[in-house]
Structure 1
Amino acid sequence: MAFLFSSLLKIYKGIKIADNPAESAFGIVVDHKLREESSQEASRVIQELKKIGLKSVIKPLNWREQRWQGIEPSDLPNVESLARTMRYQALGSTCRYLQVPSLFFAHHQDDQYETVLMRLLAGHGYRGLQGIREANAIPECYELHHVYKSGLLDNQMQKFPFLSFKPPSREMKQLRFILRDDKKAESWDRIKSYLNLDDTTTRFPGHLSRGFDPSVPYLTPLQSEDGGVMIYRPLLEFDKGRLIATCEANGVRWFEDRTNTDPTLTTRNAIRNLTRHHTLPKALQKPSVLALAHRSRLRAQLEEAEAHRLLVREKVIKDFDPNAGTLLIDVSTLWKEKMRKTRSPFAQTREEARKQARKRSRRLVASIAIRKLIAFVTPELHLPPLANLEGAVDRLLPQLSETFDQVLVTEPKTFSIAGVLFEPVFETNALMWLLSRAPYSSRQPLPERKLPGYLNYRGGVLRLDADSDQPSRHRHWRGWKTAKLWDGRFWIRVSACIAAKFHVLPFLPSSAKPFRMALPPKERSNFEKVLKHYAPRKVRYSLPALYSVEESSDGEESKQIMTLLALPTLGIHVPGLERWVKYEARYKNVDMTLLGSVKKNQRSKASLLKRTQPLAKRQSTALQSQRIRGGGQARKSHGVKDDLTSL
């Protein structure tokens, strides 16, 4: 692959790879330090890369922690998974340092065959038999900013961004030429304003807008992160024999790990030894297994596309608020059965059988759709498997349940899964659900991030004195520190001109009153309105809060005194903080295409949450009694309307 890239860049200078202009290639050689000769071999690889005109660097893995404990890394039972994590993190850190958005791996067809065969023998279903992907975001680097699905916003804020979303100059000149002689055309400045060519906040995807309501305090929505390092595998269509032949024909030297031939070392080595020295049944040979992987991949892609299309078509997402990390959804329109008049018992039986046959596939698509919705709010780095979402499907879509009773109506109840709290909200015509961060468990520590605000980390404590209105002339602002991912949802960073320690913790109830009293009366009133509208009830206590930490010594014991300075996602801070500290918050990467063209919902979440359990219990009880008395047909009584019978 290094030889092919070297030849490609010599012939096609400035070629674009995944919309990114490629001027040069850089080789990263990872030394796992698990073999005695690994360092020498890495040096020889570097020399070969220099011969073909590529710059390169060696990244050795650090096993110091294991060796300090007297454990040899090669003796660890999970050495493969540990080495994989360390390898990807080393690659991601190097890509961030080099400002490289694309990482290419030389996986080939034999690797794909071995991977699928391993999963097949392990009993995986078709979703696990898709094999190695041709392109995906870099794994194991979930908390590295500018590496995993983040960093594009910073790039777009630069004067000359690396990736531009502006229309090409050739198309702009052609448009200007077409409109030059058109007297009825609008002015060129007006056309440029439509294209947002000069607006840095809306010229790239991921920007959210919020409708304006005079009765609601306006809060600028957080921008959603995007970008990061993508992994590409361009050689998956070629087997190892063809790659070796290419190297031999061009005089390129290659290296192979001698441990790859030891069948007792890893499962992959055993599979490789089995396929090379034994003739497997036709169903397990390479053409059959690769065809199986292709069919599995195609089926999984179609199911994902169907779930995506369903969410967008039915406008399931009614409101997404990145500042509070909440999502309002309406799933009542999904597969809403229409009453059909059947002429004969036979037709009715056939319709019922057809409905039961659809139920299984619909449950699968519903699980995929629910997982896509959970991804907006969940703090977990990995989404739950589809098998774990069966209970959520039964609660959100009871008509798809195997034990669904057409006569009795069960009461919707609050539940949580994958760190997401589902709360039922009753509207006039439908039952909606509010998704928010589940309350923190008392059995686990609260999510916490340490953000140094100055190079002299131990130098002092942040003090906001009324006597000093301006920072000292001897203090200088430092650049933005690297953003840290807090609670798996918010990227937060700070910049300070003083020596201080900053911690990001949840908005603690014990800090609410002192923080509120520190605000001026006008800002205090606005703070109450913002909390009431955007983060009511327990939602507010899942928001990130910026604290300053002071070390105080009380006799022989030392304590940490924490002072709440700001709520970064709400843009509210104590008076005068801007003279000493700057902060910035962004939301994690989410699938913005699922939002569609849904208008932002300006109704207060507090008013929606008032319609949860008490009202739900009264309505479901009334409906249940009416359906039992009325033979399955709801009547208008006790203030219950006919449009609630769909619940």
Structure 2
Amino acid sequence: MPNPNSEQALQTILREVKHAIRGLFPTNIKPQRLGLAISGGVDSMALATLTKIIKEDSTFPHTFTGFIVDHRLREDSSEEAILVAKSLKQLDIEPMILNLDWNGHGDPRELNNFESVARTLRYQALGIACAAKKIPHLIFGHHADDQAETVISRAIDGYTGLGLRGISSHAPIPECQGIHGVDHSGSPRVSDGLERLQVPLQPKARMNYSLGGPKIAVEQGGVSIHRPLLDYTKQQLKLICHSYGTPWHEDVTNLDRTLTIRNSVRHLQEGSLLPTALLRPRAVETAEKVRRRKSRIEDDAQKMFEMTPIDLDLSSGKAVATISKVCQERDDAPYDYHIKAAFVRKLLLLVSPGAYVSLQDLDQCIDLVFASSEMLDDSSPRDSHMTQVSGVLVIRAGTARNALHRSITLQRQPPARAEREGAVKIRFVNPRGSWSQWLLWDHRYWIRVYEDVVARNGNTTMHVGHLTPGSLGALRKRLKNDGHSMLGLKQALSLVPEKVRWTVPAIVARSEREDRVVGLPTLRWVDKCWELGEFPLHSRRWEIRYKNIDFPNKDCHKLIQ
């Protein structure tokens, strides 16, 4: 039983953690399973103890799985993982041991970037395991001491101001880019606000080209991580374990103060060897101040974004935003700049072929988007109306002086030669009669294809790449004597402006003789050679979804295809 002298503090922690976990799901949702990242240390075992108590509440409907990552670097690591699993069973929590696979990395003990590789493998193992068990939320036991170590470590690395951010309490799982079901994906939606482009089509052309295929869904879902213990110290978590008799295991590598910077900082913190300004309370206070300021900036940028009319064409990945001058007036210049930067980053992420947009690269783009009409009118040089950043071409339309609105077009910039030539191979888990693995292509479209062309010819492989002048020329040459197919292709290409044509994906069947374009999935064009006799026309060829985007306002934000 808990120590009576600490009962009130324990109940406060329990109540706050229960509230945080309940808040992960809407009210009245059917029972869900949540994941716990369990290392066996005092923090994660305190988390497991708290979740056991929470589960005993009859009004709490959800269950937990504890994931134990065995790095397989120490001789006794597997035995330790088994002991931790037994401890979880005693807490009535389902354990699952995940063994890291170091194949392809050589001897991990000889890696210069060992910590980085281990972190990537660990998060990927956790993310894949969560997706397999349909777990959307993974909970970690990071605490206030970890928060202080993070802030001090970032200060040592030279960060200042907003760079002194601590550990986030909520975030998408890192290191899992391109893993379907983990990376912002797995639960696609088709928006009610989806508009369809109307293109006249000759009846005979419908044999080889159709606008009646499924809409391009927009991905959402994936795995997110949560840290409900950041307000509590390691000493408080030890008290929880002591009070409920929960054992924990100390990682001996954490005791080597020379192994990592964090270990050195931890040693100095625990020994009170740092100046008062760098001890845990002040470092945690700094992290909280930065968090609040970043939260205000993000909230204001989000409000601006939700008020901005935006049309996003899913066929080409091109967005057009109408920026209002009213949104721009603020007295605090530095704060105003941060809001504009966060807003512009949201615009860029709609169409960017990259996962991240660095705020350090946005000065020129911010100037272009928010410059007054007097500073940037039709008499300005043409190149002053556009810029490129993070793989996005940003174009500002000419506006009259004193105009209240300006139109900003954002589209994937023309791919470089290496990108045009770098078609990505589509991989199949099962070689016959099945769907391929999902591929995040150009960080814009999730694509998978049905194993059809491959089944007919074992020497054929399927790839996804940019449509190029060369591949389109070869396709036209192949179809020149087939008027119906040529008309269908022409109609399909009319869906996207010629300047963005070379940014759309093409499905290519590659053999020893040729690379053959067999589908343009965003344009819903398919080569007549790709047909399955046992299935209706246009079924089981591909599935395509647009990446997850922030597009919350149905009144202002429209999806077009």
Per the TM superposition, whether the score is higher than 0.5 is: yes
Asked if structure 1 preserves the Cα contact closer than 8 Å seen for 2:197 and 2:560, the reply is no
**Residues in 2 aligned to 1:409 and 1:551: alpha-carbon distance in whole angstroms:** 52
| Deviation, structure 1 residue 312 | 2.6
Query: Is the deviation greater in 418-427 or in 387-396?
Result: 418-427
Match of 1:278 among 272, 292, 300: 272
Residue of structure 1 in register with 2:38 after alignment: none
Equivalence for 2:469 = 509
Amino acid in the other structure paired with 2:314: P
Query: In the alignment, what sits opposite 1:441?
Result: 416
Partner of 1:197: none
| Correspondence for 2:167 among 107, 115, 132 | 132
SS at match of 1:81: helix
- Distance across 2 between alignment mates of 1:454 and 1:245: 48
TM (norm. structure 1) is: 0.69
Residue 57 of structure 2 is matched in structure 1 by 11
Aligned to 2:142: 107
Q: Kindly state the Cα deviation for residue 84 of structure 1 after the two structures are TM-superposed.
A: 0.5
Q: Report the number of matched residues.
A: 489
2:465–2:507 contact (8 Å) kept in structure 1: yes
- Quick one: structure 1 residues 564 and 309, their matched pair in 2 at CA, closer, same or farther if it must change by over 3 Å? same
The 3 A distance-change label for structure 1 pair 405 and 322 is: closer
Aligned ranges for residues 166-565 of structure 1 at < 5 Å? 206=191, 208-210=193-195, 213=198, 221-313=215-307, 315-317=308-310, 319-331=311-323, 333=325, 358-384=332-358, 386-399=359-372, 409=380, 411=382, 412-426=384-398, 431-443=406-418, 446-452=421-427, 455-456=430-431, 477-478=433-434, 480-497=435-452, 498-499=455-456, 500-516=460-476, 518=479, 521-522=483-484, 524-532=486-494, 534-551=495-512, 561-565=514-518
How far, CA to CA, are the matches of 1:214 and 1:537 in structure 2? 16
| Distance in structure 2 (CA, Å) of the matches to 1:358 and 1:277 | 41
Letter in 1 for 2:69: V
1:2 aligns with 2:41: no
Query: How far apart in 2 are the matches of 1:41 and 1:29?
Result: 10
Query: Structure 2: which 5+ residue stretches go unaligned?
Result: 1-46, 202-209, 534-539
1:539-591 per-residue CA deviation (whole Å, 9 max, x = no partner) reads 11111111112235xxxxxxxx2111101111110125241752010000000
How far 1:598 sits from its partner (Å)?
4.4
Q: Where does the alignment leave 5 or more consecutive residues of structure 1 unmatched?
A: 16-21, 154-200, 338-354, 458-476, 553-560, 603-647
Please tell me whether residue 91 in structure 1 is matched to residue 51 in structure 2.
no
Matched residue, 2:79? 40
Structure 1 position 362, deviation (Å): 2.7
Contact 1:379 1:488 in 2 (8 A): yes
What is the aligned partner in structure 2 of residue 170 from structure 1? none
Question: Which amino acid is 1:507 matched to?
Answer: L
Query: Hey, what does 2:207 align to over in structure 1?
Result: none
1:152 and 2:187 correspond: yes
Q: CA RMSD in A?
A: 3.1
Is contact 1:362–1:400 with CA below 8 Å preserved after alignment? no
Structure 2 residue matching 1:564: 3-state secondary structure: strand
Q: Distance in 1 between matches of 2:502 and 2:366?
A: 28
What is the one-letter code of the residue matched to 1:38? S
Matching residue of 1:593: 552
Contact 2:309 2:556 in 1 (8 A): no
Contact 2:492 2:524 in 1 (8 A): no
Distance 1:437 1:279, change over 3 A: same
TM-aligned CA deviation for residue 214 of structure 1? 6.8
Question: For the residues of structure 2 that align with 1:535 and 1:406, how far apart are their CA atoms?
Answer: 28
Q: Secondary structure at the match of 1:298?
A: helix
Q: Deviations over 1:218-245 (max 9, x none)?
A: 6865221000111111222221111111
Report the more deviating stretch, 218-227 or 426-435.
426-435
Contact (CA 8 Å) 1:568, 1:583: kept in 2 or not? Answer: yes
Larger radius of gyration: 1
Q: Which amino acid aligns with 1:303?
A: I
Query: Per the alignment, do residues 495 and 600 of structure 1 end up closer, same or farther by CA in structure 2, a change over 3 Å counting?
Result: closer
Structure 1 Cα separation of the partners of residues 418 and 506 of structure 2: 21
Pick the aligned partner of 2:532 from 565, 579, 583. 579
How far residue 445 of structure 1 moved from its aligned partner, in angstroms, is 6.4
CA shift, 1:34, in A, is 2.9
The 3 A distance-change label for structure 1 pair 595 and 366 is farther
Look up the equivalent residue of 2:113 and give its one-letter code: N
CA deviation vs aligned residue, 1:335-378 (integer Å, no higher than 9, x gap): 578xxxxxxxxxxxxxxxxx8x6444333222111111000011
Aligned mates of 2:56, 2:421 — CA distance in 1: 53
Question: Residue 523 of structure 2 aligns to a residue in which SS?
Answer: coil
SS at match of 1:503: strand
Contact kept, 8 Å, 1:212 with 1:218, in 2: the verdict is no
Deviation at 1:51, TM superposition (A): 2.3
SS at 2:552 equivalent: helix
Deviations 1:88-143 (A, max 9, x none): 01111111222222211111121112112222333323333231111111111111
Q: Is the 8 A contact 1:221 1:323 kept in 2?
A: no
Which residue among 36, 52, 59 is the counterpart of 2:91? 52
Q: How far 1:257 moved relative to its partner?
A: 0.5
1:536 Cα shift? 1.4
TM-score of the superposed pair, with normalisation by structure 2: 0.79
C-alpha contact (below 8 Å) 2:448/2:542 kept by paired residues:
yes
Q: Per-residue deviation at 1:332?
A: 5.8
Deviation of 1:47 (Å): 2.0
One-letter identity of the residue aligned with 2:547: K
State the alpha-carbon separation in 2 of the partners of residues 56 and 598 from structure 1.
43
Partners of 2:68 and 2:97 within 8 A in 1: yes
What's the secondary structure of 2:338's corresponding residue? helix
Per-residue deviation at 1:292? 1.6
- C-alpha distance in 2 between matches for 1:482 and 1:372: 29
Q: Closer, same or farther in 2 for the Cα pair 1:583/1:96, shift >3 Å? A: same
Contact 2:66–2:93 (CA under 8 A) maintained in structure 1: yes
Contact 1:447 1:487 in 2 (8 A): no
8 A contact 1:454–1:496 mirrored in 2: no
| Matched-pair contact (CA < 8 Å) for 2:108–2:114 | yes
- Return the letter of the residue paired with 2:471: S
* SS in structure 2 at match of 1:11: coil
Offset of residue 146 of structure 1: 0.5
The residue matched to 2:229 in structure 1 has which SS? coil
In 2, the alpha carbon distance for the partners of 1:530 and 1:129 equals 50
Structure 1: distance between partners of 2:152 and 2:376: 43
Displacement, 1:273?
Answer: 0.5
Aligned-residue sequence identity (percent) comes to: 31
**Deviation digits for residues 387-445 of structure 1, max 9, x if unmatched?**
211111222323499xx699995543332110111234346766523211111212556
- The one of the two structures with greater contact order (alpha-carbon pairs below 8 A, sep at least 6) is 2
Q: CA deviation at 1:209?
A: 0.9
Please give the alpha-carbon distance, in whole angstroms, between the structure 2 residues aligned to 1:210 and 1:482.
29
SS in 2 for 1:237: coil
Determine the structure 1 residue equivalent to 2:41. Answer: none
